[in-house]
Structure 1
């Protein structure tokens, strides 16, 4: 097709036809994906809605495991530290007083 030989109306129609074709291709891509997902859901006995809810809840309900306590102040058993992040004040004070971090390891 030689664009130089087309008039304004023909070019406008060509653009509109191309835009409609792009929309149709996009819709087909979504339709194909939807049907594939629906088939997988049906195969495992679920609905697409159930899968979607699970996906949303999975992100919201992730449980982060707490790090185990690795260090404890022998003088105040409530003062503990996992060894991660900034050193708590009690650790800094004890280290400045000449003690070693190993002195507070929980056996």
Structure 2
């Protein structure tokens, strides 16, 4: 059974090998990408446009309910906020908060 000192030395050696391999594979990938860019006449701007085209924007939903006392709002989607739950528990109706 190897000692703790031996195992720690093995781990250090493995971590060094991992770092070397990562650096080597990254360099190879960069070289491959550069070669493809040259072959097809691509620029960084070409890559940025294509990457940006996949991004989606998050749209906001208009508020449907408002707490007149604090100005807090709720869109009607998801869980009811605490202020609305407390008001309904106190006897208010949802329609009273409708915008």
- Please report the TM-score for the alignment, with normalisation by the length of structure 2: 0.50
Larger radius of gyration: 1
Structure with more contact order per residue of length (Cα contacts < 8 Å, sep ≥ 6): 2
